[in-house]
Structure 1
Amino acid sequence: MTPEQQTAIEAAVLRRLLKHLDERNDVQNIDLMNLAGFCRNCLAKWTVTAAADEGVTLDYEQARERIYGMPYNDWKALHQKEASAEQLAVFNARAKE
């Protein structure tokens, strides 16, 4: 595999992940954090870091819009639910680890 092929494959995988997350907007960020240790916001932060590594200026809100497919506040209003006590307990327990 050439470096160009690897980059193309990795880009395709990210696009597929984002499409999957768009299709599963019922899955809350806290669920992702509790189960996988990352969420959509983490992906946005990683995008900002990767852009900076390439000498590209991309702020966090721009990156979140790319990850969420819309402005974050719009996504939040449409899809985000209040975290349950159980979700918060798991999240807080993991944060102490």
Structure 2
Amino acid sequence: MTIDDKTKTELEAAVFRRLVAHLQSRSDVQNIDLMNLAGFCRNCLSNWLKEAADAKGAVMTKDDSREAVYGMPYETWKAQHQGAATPDQLAAMKKSQSGH
């Protein structure tokens, strides 16, 4: 398979947008569960977006990047969708982070 750089970038951007849209539609999935299962969460994606913006010299605040990923201000998302972590979730997080 041979794909030119422009097309590859466009495909990657489309996949990122689809992932973000999917995560926005699945507010029932908690960040701690994403971290425990996949090793990244919405906050990671927003941090990576900001880092990419910084690397390009584009102006983007942490709040901007979080809103781009969450689809709303982060504090609003937390208030509406984030539940308290269970002891099992916290234990899984501690175990999964022990190697990092």
Aligned to 2:91, what secondary structure does the other structure show? helix
Aligned to 1:63: 65
Structure 2, gaps ≥5 residues long: none
Instruction: State the shift of 1:87 in Å.
Output: 0.2
Distance 2:22 2:42 in 1: 12
Identity across the alignment (%):
51
- What do the CA deviations read for 1:14-58 (whole angstroms, capped 9, x no partner)? 110011111111000000000000000000110011011111121
> Which one is further off, 55-64 or 81-90?
55-64
Q: Which runs of 4+ in 1 moved over 3 A?
A: none
Aligned to 1:45: 47
Aligned to 1:96: 98
Instruction: Give the RMSD, CA atoms, in angstroms.
Output: 0.8
TM superposition score normalised by structure 1: 0.96
Aligned with residue 78 of structure 1, among 77, 80, 88: 80
Aligned to 1:6: 8
Aligned to 1:19: 21
